[in-house]
Structure 1
């Protein structure tokens, strides 16, 4: 081989290698809506804090309204959105260009101003992407866009009676994809084989509660409990732990609404630090917050023994808490920000975003000590929380943002109701 040709090939190889490295650095794996560890936080640093929605790295518009959080796996982005009135899963590359889409049956578009037919966020095990829609469709799609299986939980188990739109996302255990339905009527937790979609187990989860307090929108959390893979499930005014292999109830804690208040659905998903679960309840949006710390140990009904602390002065109704460096961070529905110790419930510091007439619906993100909080009017507020609270920026996306921000190296994915934005330096 002539020397000049050899040198040319080597130069091309270096260029291609550099391109592959650059591509690999565009996005970081984020396989479910609250991140790999269900914390809502990331160790990534040097993400953007200020941007112009008209001058982003890229943006991709969808043909219908969606509120789910995108996920990322190996530089591919997976997001649910309707296409021509049908539920759909859309795959994009790291530059926002479409790779493929899979369409299912007709969408149920929902009824809440901040809802859609695809509120549930997808999740992946690296082999398939699992999706659920308000229409009842639960499906597994491989990473090339081929549907492995599909079923409809509304047709199988009846419609949900939730007052607002469905909110619970599918979660993955070692063997199963798990869905929860908590509403007025037959409530349940069910596991389906990831490979075939066949029902593995389904357990009833019914509790007598005041009006609407049996309605649940939170997502179960996979934990290890007493050496077993388990599902921590919050709803119906009870926090429960189920064996992931069998669905068997092994632990239960109640007593979260001793005064019998009405119209307290469960929305915010619990977070876990060590053996402590933090539960946000009440109606913080109406000035009635409740916050609870519960020890995850023992067995059976632990209502009288495992409650560590309770607070009625801070809380969150819709945005889920964040775990960052073993502390809990709350963004309240009106923008109050609190950092506290999960073991004691004691406040470490408090801050607040500027007052505004609109609430916070999307669950916030912390990346590298920077807090990103989307407000329902589409403004993403940014604060440095490494040493207390310091407001940095307010970034208007120009459309409502209900989904959670997704971090990447030097960039963020922000999903508006009709557009996916990638902002970065």
Structure 2
């Protein structure tokens, strides 16, 4: 294992967590990109170990290229995809039959081969569904697909100046839908009324950083901190908490790039276990990995006190890590796998999927000790991570790119390909 520096470990006490994630959803529901508690995992259920034709419950054709992750709410599966050149959201029932679809304005196509105008994933609070598209369209629909409201953030606040395709998904607080734009230019965090779409607040989030480090593709996390609802935002070399009521900064941490390296955009999302945030940064794809453990306690600027550990030998550039049963799991960009202790940053075990020139872009899922990891070319691996051991169980070909994250639906697994939505099960 490489270098681990622990500047603040002596003061870390992994007792009762000071930070509690908001989670009021049943295990059967997957209401947002990384699941109800933003962990990317679920600990209960029985899921398929093989993802082959014999395990396919159904497939559904998708009308256009999208890279977002589906969500599941009760008896509906919701996913974004363009329809006849327009941004759209589609609903399927749990047998894969279309229920409704709602289109918006003209799609803005993606630049990257693995990008699209539908990169951001939908989110629901059980009353409405909220979507965002590269075109700038932020919209809310009811659970039957009828329009609630829509607004164009590009027309209102100017163009998105990120080099690559927008990836930030909307998130929900008690009263608002939150959007973050962190790019070259005026960066901000904004809240819109969930019922009306009216702007509730908008705050600047601008930092002076090296070239491209202001380009961020991460999604905020809504959580509780010191008895208040806050929005945790990672990007532009800063981790910040904003009061959900007015957007004011109540906690911030910098110090993630003291060498002032250039071309370090934030892509992988943080993951939280107890009071620790684990953050992947640097350029793992170029052999310059960085990974940090930051304690989410206190208030104000905690840069000097809350860095607990840092590693310079492992990280992930694109795939976000998973929190599961007290540990953090990484599927790195070329298929290396790392299980770490979030309190210390030390490796518990490491392994890898078969070597291949193709990279991993989707964020992995862990469902009841099974790790699901799609590779860019449409190969999806299933491995057991039970009992702190890695065992590769299957290698499955979907014959189309898979960029969205796998999603549990009951005891089934949803795989969103570029052209189809697949539902896999081992129920006979």
| Correspondence 1:92 to 2:86 | no
- Structure 1 residues 214-255: Cα deviation after superposition (integer angstroms, max 9, x where no partner): 000000001111110001100000000100111000111111
Structure 1 counterpart of 2:421: 420
Corresponding residue SS for 1:219: coil
- Any residues of structure 2 matched to 1:184-333 within 5 Å, and which? 184-333=184-333
Q: SS in structure 1 opposite 2:386?
A: coil
Instruction: Report Cα offsets for 1:170-191 as digits up to 9, x if no partner.
Output: 0000000000000000000000
The Cα offsets for residues 355-414 of structure 1, whole Å up to 9 and x where unpaired, read as: 110111000000000100011000111110012111111111110000000112331100
**1:7 match:** none
Displacement, 1:139? 0.5
Q: Aligned residue for 1:17?
A: none
**2:391 is the alignment partner of 1:390:** yes
The unaligned stretches of length 5 or more in structure 2 are 1-26
Contact 1:28 1:75 in 2 (8 A): no
- Could you tell me which runs of 5 or more consecutive residues in structure 1 were left unpaired when the two chains were aligned: 1-26
2:69 is the alignment partner of 1:36: no
| SS at 1:44 equivalent | coil
- Does the aligned pair in 1 maintain the 2:55–2:425 contact within 8 Å? no
> Deviation at 1:55?
6.5
- Tell me which residue corresponds to 1:335: 335
Pair 1:354–1:252, CA change in 2 (3 A): same
C-alpha displacement of 1:53: 4.8
Q: Secondary structure at the match of 2:401?
A: coil
Q: Which has the larger radius of gyration?
A: 1
Contact 1:44 1:409 in 2 (8 A): no
Question: CA deviation digits over 1:23-75, x for unaligned, max 9?
Answer: xxxx9210001000000001233211113258621111112100000001012
Contact 1:216 1:236 in 2 (8 A): yes
User: RMSD between aligned alpha carbons?
Assistant: 1.1
Closer, same or farther in 2 for the Cα pair 1:424/1:336, shift >3 Å? same
Greater RCO, 1 or 2 (C-alpha within 8 Å, sep 6+): 2
CA displacement, residues 302-330 of structure 1 (integer Å, 9 cap, x when unaligned): 11111000001111000101010111111
Match of 2:56, SS? coil
Q: Structure 1's 85 and 54: CA in aligned 2 closer, same or farther, altered over 3 A?
A: farther
Q: Measure how far apart 1:145 and its partner are.
A: 1.1
CA–CA distance in structure 1, aligned partners of residues 110 and 187 of structure 2: 20
Secondary structure at the aligned position of 1:90 is classed as strand
The alignment status of 1:119 with 2:119, answered yes or no, reads yes
Matching residue of 1:167 = 167
SS of match in other structure, 1:57: strand
In structure 2, C-alpha distance between the alignment counterparts of 1:110 and 1:348, rounded to whole Å: 38
**Aligned counterparts of 2:418 and 2:146: Cα–Cα separation in 1:** 26
Question: How many positions carry a matched residue from both structures?
Answer: 399
Query: SS of the counterpart of 1:130?
Result: strand
Tell me the TM-score normalized by structure 1.
Answer: 0.93
Kept after mapping to 2: 8 A contact 1:376/1:401: yes
Indicate the SS of the match to 1:162. coil
Choose 129-138 or 46-55, whichever is displaced more: 46-55
Indicate whether 1:64 and 2:60 are aligned: no
Q: What's the CA shift string for 1:109-159, capped at 9, x where partnerless?
A: 111000000000000000000000000000000011111000000000011
* Equivalent position SS for 1:129: strand
Partner of 1:359: 359
Q: Within 2, Cα distance between the matches of 1:356 and 1:314?
A: 19
Closer, same or farther: CA 175–307 of 1 in aligned 2, 3 Å:
same
Alpha-carbon distance in 1 for matches of 2:184, 2:159: 11
Paired residues of 2:72 and 2:409 also in contact (CA < 8 A)? no
Q: Which residue of 2 aligns with 1:153?
A: 153
Query: What corresponds to 1:349 in structure 2?
Result: 349
